Amino acid sequence: MEILIYGLINSMLLVLMAVGFALAYSVSRVPNFMHGSLYVLAGYLTWVFLNRLGLGYLLSILLSVGTATLIGWVVYKVAVIRVRGMPVSEIIVTFAISLTILEFLRWLGLRGATYVLPPFYSKTVTLLGVPVDSQRIAAVLIAAAIVLVLWIFTHYTKVGLGLRGIAQNERAALMLGIDSDRAATLALALGSALAALAGITIIPMGNINVATGYDVLVFAIAVCICGGLGSWTGTILAAFVIGFAQMIVVYLVAPHLAMVVALAAIILILIFKPSGLFGRQKELEERV
Amino acid sequence: MAEDAIRRKERLDRGVKVRSDTVYAVSSWKEILFLLAPRAALIAVLLLAPLFVPSLYWQRVICIMGVYALLAIGFDFLAHFVGLVCLGGALFIGVGAYFSGCLNHYLGLPPVLTIPIGSIGGALICTIILLPTLPLRGVYFAIVTFTYPVFLERIIVAADILGGTDGIPGLSILYSTWLSQYSILSVILLCVFGLRRLVNEDIGVVFRGVKDNDQAIRASGLSVTYYKAIAVFFAALMGCFGGAYLAHLYGWVGMSLLSMDFSVFPLVATVVGGPGTIAGPLVGCLLLVPISEMLRAFGALRIVIYSLIMVFFILFWSEGLVNWARRKYEQFERWVRV
Amino acid sequence: MGNPLLRVRSLSKSFGGVKAVNDVSFDLHEGEILGVIGPNGSGKTTLLNLITGFVRKDSGTVEFRGKDITKWSAHKISNLGLVRTFQIVRPYATLPAFKNLIPPLFSPRIKQSTRGKLGDRDAVAIDVLEEVGFERDAYVPYKLAGSLPLGYLKRLEFARCLCMKPETICCDEVFSGLSMAEIASMLPLVERLQADRITLIMVEHRLRELFRVADRVLVMNFGQKIAEGSPREVMKDPQVRRAYLGEEVKL
């Protein structure tokens, strides 16, 4: 029973981590390697705003999410745009920037139990006989809310539909007058914001440290690849599959193996169904 | 009409370059010198360096530089000649090091055996575990190569195998610093000149096709996956050799051999030194490793500095040092009125 | 008549919601030239892609000389002798023309048939280029591929196929983009290929030129095969007329 509840929670956390990456990639086709670093950065900035500048919690959160979004936007406009179309350089640039951020934070000395963000609401609830703290519940609710909002955004608003159009068929969207550069900038900015949101929601459950940055990147990528880069249902489904698999392994085998499950999932999918569980095969083959 | 002449820069090959492009170059000392000078200079710098460095510490630095250079050359080859961005140099180093370390520790084999076996065996292992990504687009390869070292690190700690966090100490050490330096330097020179030859051979055309136009390669009856695997094997061979070498240089293998440093440095060296030239990454390492040593005081900030340098170079000076130097060497520029 | 060289049954492929190829079947006999025509978007190129393994099939089977090649990957099919040209030619622009032919000379098919004794690949490449019309005396094979006009590039595609010692060549709109004169000069090459006992499938838009060489023609519209037969028969077919002209035209 515990596995069920914790698995569910873990899956939703993965969803939270992965949506930003999925959005940015499906629209701009640039893998946002900064995802993990923005996650940690948001946590760190919130801590700084909260503890060094004495701002309120909500304000700190808003500021750090805003900063992350700004960074994502600026990075695209200044750096990525110059290397669009050269996949080797795109990857190197986003990777380099993520390293800059993460290793800078590492140098600043983010270690130890003092670097903690307070949970939104301190309470433990019992669900179906399993103790769950309220931060986790909050995270699950936030994840669900984000997915819902994004769905509405991409299905019913003009901007969102534009993003979806570019994600599905860039040429057709261009012909309809949707600016792919602006769409990509927006997608990357949104993706960064989502990464930051994921960070400030999940970090209160543990502490801020740099290794999480790399972990989150790997998890987000694992979920997106397994779900199929470019498919919403697939991503969510994959998050659940991986989430439950991780929980099972962590419970029954050993706690450090979450990353192993993620990587194993990637390799298995790449061997058996490279386009992902729900991915469209188009992505990988038809390039005549 | 106003005398607003539009000027543009025109680049012309230098006379000596044109003359040395054909087989008649051998007929004149000037041309031979022109061709040989850069290559000779590189070889000379490498081979003479161990004789001129001030202390044992710096001799170690030369060895480390050698390892980084092997990784960087491998990275350049994979990224710019085959189209695969390898973000996991640490994977090759780690696998090579642990493989030969284990051969030495558990089976008692001497370095002269463990290093070759470690290199080849390690390269095979790396190629196999990277196989699933090869039929797919380059971004998958990048992601998986990035993830593997992190993952291996976690497994070693979690399962406490292969020495766990402490690593495996007490391995045989290469018995002389001269040997260590010259062995790695000669391997580097072999790889650089060998790879440059390889990409100019016919098989280089195939690799180029794999990078730029894989549909044509498929239509020519060649398996793209197979050739990518060959390329990965060679790069892994160099990396695993570096790892095996390191294991016996330090006499120890541990998790630090899977650190991000080994994944990042080759990137920086390639981008700075000159992507797409095979020799460029070597030059990049020659410059950056000593600088990096001198910046040791900055600790983790070094990676930040490298990354920023990398971004700067990619965005604003993407040809890199060697390409720039070669252009200056072979061509001259002048403003021409249009 | 014997067994058909290529047997295609019920091929289908959808992209998203669009059925690009819808239940197409036909036979290809050895030594013939089969034309595939149809208005834009009728699925001709997709059909080629499906047969040669560049696109995965949704359903249907393809047999070549009795072997079921339905699930085979593109390079394996090329190695069998079923090769194709590309509509958009993308050579290695910075390499000389003959270097573009190096990859096919590396293929397992060639390695096997010459038992590794191919000799100087460059010389073989230049010979093949000469066969398709690159004038050796004018050093055309040595020109950079990026500097060649389209007519030569299309011939380069044929050369690439010929380097594979093919049995069948699937030509994807080789006449497109060429002037009438250039096409007229390509026709003897096509006829010579047939004389060399190479079977051809030619997807084409230029009907007049195609009908000069094609033995049989297959007409497609909206992914389906709507007619098959000799050029004359097919042009008389009212369905074909409707597909091209939109309405029944009384002539």
Least CB–CB distance from C107: residue in B205, B208, B221: B221
**pLDDT (tens digit, 9 = 90+) per residue, B46-86?**
888 878 877 888 888 888 888 999 999 999 999 888 888 89
Amino acid in the structure at residue B202: D
- Cβ within 8 Å of A, B 99-128: none
**pLDDT (tens digit, 9 = 90+) per residue, A22-49?**
888 888 878 888 888 888 888 888 888 8
**Mutate which: C48, C51, C55, vs A, most A CBs within 10 A:** C55
The CATH architecture that domain A2-283 belongs to is Orthogonal Bundle (1.10)
CATH number of C60's domain: 3.40.50.300
**pLDDT (tens digit, 9 = 90+) per residue, A164-223?**
777 777 777 777 777 778 888 888 888 888 888 888 888 877 777 777 888 888 888 888
Residues B216, C86: C-beta atoms closer than 8 Å? yes
Least CB–CB distance from A285: residue in C16, C56, C86: C56
Please tell me which residue of chain A has the smallest CA distance to C52.
Answer: A288
Cα distance between residue B218 and residue B225, in whole Å: 10
Alpha helices per DSSP H over chain A? 2-28, 35-47, 57-78, 87-107, 134-156, 158-168, 170-175, 180-202, 210-227, 232-252, 258-272
Average pLDDT on A6-35 reads: 85
Residue B205 CB neighbours (<10 A) = 22
Average pLDDT on A123-141 reads: 74
Residue C228 CB neighbours (<10 A) = 18
Q: B136 and chain A: CB distance < 8 Å anywhere?
A: yes
Model confidence, pTM:
0.86
User: Would C251 be classed as within a structural domain?
Assistant: no
Residue B333 CB neighbours (<10 A) = 11
Contacts (Cβ under 8 Å, ≥6 apart) of C54? A285, A286, A288, B215, B218, C74, C84
Percent of chain C with pLDDT over 90: 16
**Contact between A204 and A118 (Cβ < 8 Å):** yes
Of residues C248 and C223, which shows the higher confidence score? C223
Question: Does ipTM surpass 0.95 in this model?
Answer: no
| pLDDT confidence bin for A114, thresholds 50/70/90 | low
Q: C166 and chain B: CB distance < 8 Å anywhere?
A: no
Which residues of chain A are within 8 Å of residue C44 when distances are taken between CB atoms? none
Percent of chain B with pLDDT over 90: 14
Asked whether the predicted pLDDT for residue A280 surpasses 60, the reply is: no
Residues A288, C56: C-beta atoms closer than 8 Å? no
| pLDDT confidence bin for C77, thresholds 50/70/90 | very high
User: Would B3 be classed as within a structural domain?
Assistant: no
Percent of chain B with pLDDT over 70: 97
User: Would C235 be classed as within a structural domain?
Assistant: yes
Mean pLDDT of chain A: 79
- Output the 3-class SS for chain B: CCCCCCEEEEEEECHHHHHCCCHHHHHCHHHHHHHHHHHHHHHHHHHHHHHHCCCHHHHHHHHHHHHHHHHHHHHHHHHHHHCCCCCCHHHHHHHHHHHHHHHHHHHCCCHHHHHHHHHHHHHHHHHHHHHHHCCCCHHHHHHHHHHHHHHHHHHHHHHCCCCCCCCECCCCCCCCHHHHHHHHHHHHHHHHHHHHHHHHCHHHHHHHHHHHCHHHHHHCCCCHHHHHHHHHHHHHHHHHHHHHHHHHHHCCECHHHHCHHHHHHHHHHHHHHCCCCCHHHHHHHHHHHHHHHHCHHHCCHHHHHHHHHHHHHHHHCCCHHHHHHHHHHHEEEEEEEC
- Those chains having 3 or more beta-carbon pairs within 8 angstroms of chain A are B, C
Which residues of chain C are within 8 Å of residue A281 when distances are taken between CB atoms? 56
**pLDDT (tens digit, 9 = 90+) per residue, C186-211?**
888 888 888 988 999 999 888 888 88
- Cβ within 8 Å of C, A 262-281: 280-281
Q: C170 and chain B: CB distance < 8 Å anywhere?
A: no
- pLDDT given for residue B72 in this prediction: 93
Cα distances (Å, whole numbers) of residue B210 to A249, B217, B232, C108, C111: 39, 7, 13, 16, 19
CATH number of B132's domain: 1.10.3470
Q: C86 and chain A: CB distance < 8 Å anywhere?
A: yes
Asked whether the predicted pLDDT for residue A284 surpasses 50, the reply is: no
Residue B245 CB neighbours (<10 A) = 27
Of residues B234 and A158, which shows the higher confidence score? B234
**pLDDT (tens digit, 9 = 90+) per residue, B170-182?**
777 777 777 778 8
**pLDDT (tens digit, 9 = 90+) per residue, B264-311?**
889 899 989 888 888 889 888 888 888 888 887 777 788 888 888 888
Q: Phi, psi at residue A8, to the nearest 5°? A: -60, -45
Cα distances (Å, whole numbers) of residue B4 to A21, A65, B9, B10, B338: 51, 51, 16, 18, 10
Question: How many domains does chain C contain in total?
Answer: 1
**pLDDT (tens digit, 9 = 90+) per residue, B3-57?**
566 788 888 888 777 777 767 667 777 777 887 888 888 888 888 887 887 788 8
Could you tell me which of B210, B213, B310, B243 has the C-alpha nearest to residue B74?
B243
**Contact between C202 and C174 (Cβ < 8 Å):** yes
A288–chain B nearest CA distance, Å: 7
* Lowest-confidence segment of B188-197, B251-260, C207-216 by average pLDDT: B251-260
Q: Vertex C191, ends C187 and C197: CA angle to 5°?
A: 150
Helix (H) or strand (E) holding C217: strand C216-221
**Mutate which: A26, A81, A101, A103, vs B, most B CBs within 10 A:** A103
Which residues of chain B are within 8 Å of residue C83 when distances are taken between CB atoms? 219, 221
Residues B223, C75: C-beta atoms closer than 8 Å? yes
Which residues of chain B are within 8 Å of residue C105 when distances are taken between CB atoms? 202
- pLDDT given for residue A229 in this prediction: 66
Residues A282, C45: C-beta atoms closer than 8 Å? no
User: Would C161 be classed as within a structural domain?
Assistant: yes
**Contact between A21 and A221 (Cβ < 8 Å):** yes
**pLDDT (tens digit, 9 = 90+) per residue, B301-336?**
888 888 888 888 888 888 888 888 888 888 888 888
Which residues of chain B are within 8 Å of residue A83 when distances are taken between CB atoms? 314-315
Question: How many domains does chain B contain in total?
Answer: 1
Q: Phi, psi at residue B237, to the nearest 5°? A: -60, -45
| pLDDT confidence bin for B163, thresholds 50/70/90 | confident
Domain ranges of chain A: 2-283
- Those chains having 3 or more beta-carbon pairs within 8 angstroms of chain B are A, C
Residues C49, A285: C-beta atoms closer than 8 Å? no
